Amino acid sequence: MNIYFRTYWFTWAFLVVAAALTGVASLKEAFFGGLFASLVSALLAKPFEKAGPRFAPLLGATAGTLWVVAMFFRIRWFGYADDYAMAQWTLGTDISVHAAGFAGAALMTALCVRNQFPKALLGGFLLAAAMTVLPYGFIAWVDHRVAGPVEVVLLVSADVPAGEGPTRRPGAVAVSFNPAEMAFLKQRLLVVEGPGGDEVLDNQGRRFWPLWRRRLVYPGNPGGPVRTVLLILPSGLTAPETWTFPVDYAPEGMAMAFLDSQQRVSVAGVARLNPSVELEVSLLVKMKGEALHYQALQIQTTRRSPVGDFYARILTPGLSAEFPPPLLEANAKEKPVEKPRANRPNFGPVSDPAKK
């Protein structure tokens, strides 16, 4: 009976400690989830003994991997969408931790047949630690290169007279460039300070202003290096468009994408593109009266790891794609409506009662 207890508690303790160190799950989830996972490991104690030190770790690692895959499909079929997205994000680390915990427990159980318990415990712990550190290090490196946030700054044009800036919605704060973005833009375009804030002029003399700034974050990985994409959307597009382009290869790189009609896009300012991280930008156009207006802009972020497509695609809700139409000028005063003066009714001459 001691063999079942030892296998169970080794697996459970390792899963809880590994979850706390890797951040793959909260301590509460690791505590209760590890209770059921360790039960599977304990039920395999006798097969671990019979397999011996050479094949027991392989049997344990296989059992741990199958357990994670079974829990993944349970969340996919019966769980919530947010839980499924988080399960996709942590699938690699989950497999690494559970395979290591099961393999370490299997080796410890097999070594207990011919060795004392402290020596068997040390052997199982060293194997489990090595099987966790190496895959988790690789996964962390891939996440650092691929799954970091992408910050998008949208620059749009507006039909305003020279010397004036675009109209903004009430309460909206003008977006400004940070020093790194300002230096990046000045190397390629003309940037001036105008009445509407920071103003960018391209080679054709068109004027662009930053409309909004959005940070696209992958669920479960809000930190890490941030890539920056300066998105330049021209005016005059008459049909819905979709553009797909990769971002800079450097995790903290910066790129500038010029969008054009017929799904043409030009990415500038990068030495090397990263095909593992792509942005898909979709523009919706709507007819208002006799004029076309940009209805909304959607951005979908696609991330791919070197060993497979394990990252979920993240789609933003509809974002504004143009400045609001210009309102009446503040200096223009409405002419007051002249009301007709009320005339007193005339009842004829009034007789003096003293003369009567």
Q: 24-45, pLDDT tens digit by residue?
A: 667 777 788 888 888 899 999 9
Report the pLDDT value the prediction gives residue 155, as an integer from 0 to 100.
Answer: 92
Look-up: residue for tokens 């696609």? 302
Strand, coil or helix: 253? coil
Q: Provide the pLDDT confidence category of residue 333 given band limits of 50, 70 and 90.
A: very low
227, 149 Cβ separation under 8 angstroms = yes
Single-letter amino acid, residue 166: P
Per-residue pLDDT at 242 exceeds 50: yes
- Each residue's pLDDT tens digit, 44-74: 999 999 998 989 999 999 999 999 999 999 9
CB contact burial 323-354 (16+ within 10 A = b; e otherwise): beeeeeeeeeeeeeeeeeeeeeeeeeeeeeee
Highest-pLDDT range among 50-54, 219-223, 337-341: 50-54
DSSP string, 160-212: --TT------TTPPPP---HHHHHHHHTTSEEEEETTEEEEE-TT--EEEEEE
- Is the pTM value of this prediction over 0.85? no
Q: Which two tokens stand for residue 213?
A: 């700034």
Mean pLDDT of 3-14: 89
Q: Which two tokens stand for residue 184?
A: 């990046």
Report the pLDDT value the prediction gives residue 1, as an integer from 0 to 100.
Answer: 57
Q: Provide the pLDDT confidence category of residue 339 given band limits of 50, 70 and 90.
A: low
CA-to-CA distance for 48 and 52, rounded, in angstroms?
7
298, 275 Cβ separation under 8 angstroms = no
Share of the chain above pLDDT 70, in %: 88
Mean pLDDT of 156-179: 81
Phi, psi of 355 (to 5 degrees): -80, -15
Could you state, in order of their start, the residue ranges of all structural domains in the chain? 2-146, 150-315
Per-residue pLDDT at 340 exceeds 70: no
CA-to-CA distance for 177 and 134, rounded, in angstroms?
40
**What is the pLDDT of the chain when averaged over all its residues?**
84
Per-residue pLDDT at 227 exceeds 70: yes
Report the pLDDT value the prediction gives residue 180, as an integer from 0 to 100.
Answer: 93
- The lowest-confidence range among 143-152, 221-230, 282-291 is 282-291
Mean pLDDT of 240-250: 92
CA-to-CA distance for 43 and 37, rounded, in angstroms?
10
Look-up: residue for tokens 């290096």? 225
Mean pLDDT of 250-277: 90
